Chain A
Amino acid sequence: MTPSMAPGDPNPECDLDLSVRIGSLIMPNPVGVASGTFGYGEEYDELVHINALGALYTKAVTLEPREGNPPPRLVETPMGLINSIGLANPGVEKFLREKLPSLKTRRCPIIVNVAGSTEDDYIQVIERIEAHLASTDSGCPGIDGYEINVSCPNVHKGGMSFGIDPRLVERLTHSLRQKTSRPIIIKLSPNVTDIAEIARAAEAGGADAVSCINTVVGMVIDTEKMKPAIAMGTGGLSGPAIRPIGVAATYKVSKAVRIPVIGLGGIANASDAIQYLLAGALAVQVGTALFSDPRAPLKVLDGIIEWMKRHSVHSVSDIRFMLR
């Protein structure tokens, strides 16, 4: 990221302030790439100008390596994608050894997505990462914050079971708050009765922000084979199909908490992203749209800039107050 940029600093190129502040972290612009869709960055090196992103949210990291769920893991639905990957990842030790070095070379903020089955899993992942960062050169940590995945619908234990219980969310957030001074973002599940209640619990626990929303539980059945299209039966629906759900959740959550809301769910173009910003989000993430066009996040950013100029908006963080 650009260390010299502070909130309120005008962007020298176009006199717009694109920066957003999440806790102590300043993101140079509001458009990040969503966890699980961008790996750890390397996979997209040849296709995306990664340093120009507002933030890179890594694929989930768990304490132990996870193989993930059996295939088929994906099925396309009208304007959507259902996945059940099952948090396949190399585990925190291998992440620190093999993935962190390339993340350190990035000039955009890196948010590590953390998942677990028990409260202790989450705590240990963050303790391990913090210990590693403390023992190495702190000039360029390669990790600027954490996004806590309490809402994955695709694992049997933990994951979403945390995300549906406000007491567990508050306790987990509070425990993690003791372990790091880096920003903590709680990723909210839409698969709950009252998402605002969960958001308030995250805020009460000391979260710096919430991201809103994770995937929506969905299912497709192959009528010829008379079985579910993906091996796990149900999975997480993403893509434009869920965008109105995400925008409504963002609208609701941003009225319920004072901490920033990061909007995601079906953002494919600038207008989609601006809907989230107008609904109350300070920043956004682009995920599934990467699969149709890896250029989507930077096109979204260009479109936001164009919209801000057209509507004479100076600071991107003002958009959340502009809904009429």
Chain B
Amino acid sequence: MRQFNATVAINRAIAPDWMHMAFEWPSDLPAPKPGQFFTALPPAVEPGAGTILRRPFAFAGFEEALTEKDSSLRPRLSYAHSIYQVRGPGTRALASMQPGSSIDIIAPLGNAFPYPERGERAIVAGGGIGIGPMLFLAEQLGTGAYASAGESGDAGAGKDTNESSATLVLGFRSASLIPFSGSFSAAGLPSWKRLLEKAFFSTDDGSAGTHGTVRDALEVLWLQASGLKGLGKKSLDQKKWHLYGCGPGSMLASLAQFAAQNHMHAHFSAEQWMACGVGACHGCVLPAVSGGFLRVCADGPVFEARTIDWEASVQ
């Protein structure tokens, strides 16, 4: 991890109250992995708001700089990307930052999603603003880039997932809130557009995809994969699922139940109010199933689903 001042390259709206930010990444700092996060210090712009804490955000993508040997269309500098929601004075202040301005970043922080095991199909589920890290994970699983960046996993497992890639399931309140739609057609990362085209959707109001929650969409896909129901864009095979999730606490509680019922591996990225971001203050904890608490910033933010008492955490 490192604290550095980065130049903001992109900071624009991609859906109502949703922003896409990209900033320059130091060339000598290891690239962030899906699941990891950074903290940013909001500029003091709103009189009386008096925010003092940094804000934590998950990485939603990373563009590696062009290397000497490289003839592709990669950029000259590396950029980290994030999708964030404007929720209060801190994020409002961040949303007001212009490209070219300087932002105080600490990164990369926390752990990353583990690689799926051999023979596992990655099901990548995101809800609301939690789609950011899931787009990053799905992109890395799809390109196979994650295999080389992954913590463990042998080359065979990498190849396996590269061929089949990940299945992305994204939940929104309504179709009009899906990024890059309607009046928010500005370009994000090219990979996000490709992923969004292939993704399965759920909406609370039924205006796109499955009417209901991400869990409802997963149930449909699960039945389909089990050969019990012939719905959907394409049929999934009988591979064992490895469920990855990020979203509201209630969604993760529901997905944890789904994963347990169907005996699948599951890893979720959690969110919690955070102060230090490095494990020192013990402010951002969640209740552990084994008793006690785990720190989202330093023990996570990615947890094996069965280690956290998600139900207790949303009360």
Residue positions of A touching B, CB distance < 8 A: 36-39, 43-44, 46-47, 59, 67-68, 70-81, 83, 85, 88, 239-241, 268, 288-295
Contacts and interface: CB of A to CB of B under 8 A. Distances in A.
B80 interface: no
B293 interface: yes
Given A39-B281, A81-B52, A268-B52, 14 more contacts: A44-B278, A44-B280, A46-B2, A47-B3, A47-B106, A72-B272, A78-B48, A80-B52, A81-B53, A290-B280, A291-B54, A291-B276, A293-B41, A294-B278
A67 B285 CA distance: 10
B157 interface: no
Given A78-B48, A78-B50, A85 B276 contact: no
11 contacts: A46-B2, A47-B3, A67-B293, A74-B283, A78-B48, A80-B50, A81-B275, A83-B275, A240-B52, A292-B54, A294-B278
Nearest to A65: B292
A149 B53 CA distance: 25
A220 B78 CA distance: 41
A47 B50 CA distance: 24
A299 to B, nearest CB: 12
A295 B284 CA distance: 21
Label chain A's interface by main secondary structure: loop
A37 B282 CA distance: 9
B186 interface: no
Contacts of A294: 3, 106, 278
Given A68-B293, A293-B104, A73 B285 contact: yes
- Among B282, B285, B293, max chain A CB count under 10 A is at B282
Nearest to A79: B50
Interface string B299-315: 00000000000001100
Contacts of A74: 273-275, 283-284
Contacts of B110: none
A37 B53 contact: no
A300 to B, nearest CB: 15
Nearest to A72: B273
A43 B280 contact: yes
B3 A295 contact: yes
Contacts of A292: 41, 52-54
Contact of B292 (A38, A67, A73): A67
B206 interface: no
B169 interface: no
Contacts of A38: 280
Given A67-B293, A76-B52, A88 B2 contact: no
B279 interface: yes
Contacts of B286: 71
Given A67-B291, A78-B50, A292-B54, A43 B276 contact: yes
Contacts of B278: 39, 43-44, 47, 294
Contacts of B280: 37-39, 43-44, 59, 290
B51 interface: yes
Contacts, number: 109
A75 B282 contact: no
Nearest to B275: A291
Contacts of B86: none
The 4 closest A-B CB pairs, nearest first, are A39-B280, A78-B50, A79-B50, A43-B280
A47 B104 CA distance: 13
Contacts of B284: 71, 73-74
B298 interface: yes
Nearest to A88: B282
Nearest to B106: A47
B49 interface: yes
Interface in B244-283: 272-283
Nearest to A75: B273
A81 B283 CA distance: 11
A68 B285 contact: yes
- Among A74, A77, A79, max chain B CB count under 10 A is at A74
Contacts of A293: 3, 41, 104
A43 B279 contact: yes
Contacts of B144: none
B273 A290 contact: no
B212 interface: no
A228 B285 CA distance: 17
A68 B282 contact: yes
Contact of B53 (A44, A76, A88, A268): A76
Given A78-B50, A79-B50, A36 B292 contact: no
A114 B291 CA distance: 24
A292 B274 CA distance: 11
A17 B11 CA distance: 47
A74 B272 CA distance: 9
Nearest to B312: A70
B1 interface: yes
B52 A83 contact: no
B287 A70 contact: yes
Contacts of B53: 76, 81, 291-292
